[in-house]
Structure 1
């Protein structure tokens, strides 16, 4: 059962969910997402951590970020709203772990660069790398009045972008994807495609895990992982076999084990 917190950050009300007890761990969802991007991970992670999961501004149940939707500073305003929420909920000096998925990984990297108390960072299928993608199938337009066509388009898009194994495109995945897409008001695509990750990571010296699914179509995972991990002793990377972009949904047991191990390290 989650405790729900509604935090006012400027003009936006941000909804946070809290699960479990222990060392704090903040999870950030991806674009066209919500806290439910972590639906198959929260139970395992909250067995050892106090897990804090927001709907970022402009997503899910949270209010819009405010300001011009395509303004150049919208990423900075997003990071500022989340930083204010973390300080309010955890306290200004409390150390915590931070994980982000896709666009949420890009946000997490910038958040880690701006706060002094992020102890460990994990980025899953992270956006903002600026490298080539390998998506072969075009996305389908899911907006329309015919519900059957909408669901078919959402299922197609899950296979084109998010999930590799067709068997994992189950009723739950389609239902979650529908709800999250319908509730998305923040424009993240352009930010995700820009090379914004490197600068943020250069400003964070804490332990950083870069994790991709083997078949993630939003990147060339091995090339990008090696590029960003490089020779840096505080960075590590991992490839999850058989998984696509939404790696923590498609291979939850493997990802949960990796994250529990990563965030339990001294």
Structure 2
């Protein structure tokens, strides 16, 4: 039976949170990725609303949620999520999360294990997979102030077009635009002190995770994404790792029906 999508807002102690909601049944809460907002999950929940009660919030500082002028951290996002779930009287939930949202979800599950029935994580951040500084170095250069790297890209673009580098430069410039629109993600991932970022990684705590975890990554995603999933699979005790083919870096929008099938099978 068709269930209409509802949009709502609630005022919490840290700011107002916006979310989409649809369906009935077991409670599924979806957290978006680093460079996205709640709309990332809309195509996926179309295939789930007949079976589950889906909640899809914008994290604090993202999308249509409030963007207070505060110092952001993963723990702050976790506490905001906890208050949001308490306000909606959601006692036990499944968390389905991508990228940065996966880091928040795993941290929440470790802090509130009795509130979590299971996790579905897609290329989740939050572990020391590879060299963290190196992985985000280009992104850091793209949004550096003054924008020297951006000026360099603009300068070499006409030459790059002559030698087959047009798509690569355009891809970097497009990525820069997405970064600029994601100020909180930038702060959480690489614009804090290294010590603060390291302190919030979950590597050492994942062996304590009691909830079952389904890990998904696209077969055509980056090696870094595969490494993130493998790190979670190696460290958390109750995990299942699946590679989705075809699939790249944004599975909820690329193959929503397939992602929904994995979620249905995991929850049931």
Which TM bucket (shorter chain)? Answer: 0.7 to 0.9
- Could you say which structure has the higher helix fraction? 2
Identify the residue that residue 27 of structure 1 maps to in structure 2.
30
Shift in Å, 1:234 = 1.7
Of the two, which has the highest radius of gyration?
2
- Please state how far the C-alpha of 1:114 moved relative to its aligned partner: 1.9
Q: Which residue does the alignment assign to 1:119?
A: 117
Q: SS of 1:27's equivalent?
A: strand
Cα drift, residue 226 of structure 1:
4.0
User: Which residue of 203, 209, 212 maps to 2:214?
Assistant: 209
Report if the CA contact (8 A) 1:33-1:181 is conserved.
no
Aligned partners of 2:208 and 2:236 also within 8 Å: no
Which residue in the other structure is 1:103 paired with?
100
CA-to-aligned-CA distance 1:86-144 (integer Å, 9 cap, x gap): 111134xx221111100000000011112222101111011122213898xx6696999
Partner of 1:148: none
- Separation in structure 2 between the aligned mates of residue 101 and residue 79 of structure 1, nearest angstrom: 15
Per-residue CA deviation, residues 122-177 of structure 1 (Å, 9 max, x unaligned), is 11011122213898xx6696999xxxxxxx9997259979xxxxxxxxxxxxxxx9
2: CA distance between counterparts of 1:88 and 1:256?
27
Q: Equivalent residues in 2 for 1:149-188 (5 A)?
A: 156=171, 182=181, 184-186=183-185, 187-188=187-188
State the shift of 1:62 in Å: 0.5
Q: Give the structure-2-normalised TM-score.
A: 0.74
Q: Distance in 2 between matches of 1:47 and 1:155?
A: 40
Structure 1: segments with no counterpart, 5+ residues: 145-151, 162-176
Q: TM-score, normalised by structure 1?
A: 0.74
| Aligned partners of 1:57 and 1:63 also within 8 Å | yes
Structure 1 stretches of 4+ with a deviation exceeding 6 A read: 152-155, 158-161
Q: Could you tell me which runs of 5 or more consecutive residues in structure 2 were left unpaired when the two chains were aligned.
A: 151-166
Q: Match of 1:54?
A: 57
> 1:7 & 1:212 partners in 2: Cα distance?
32
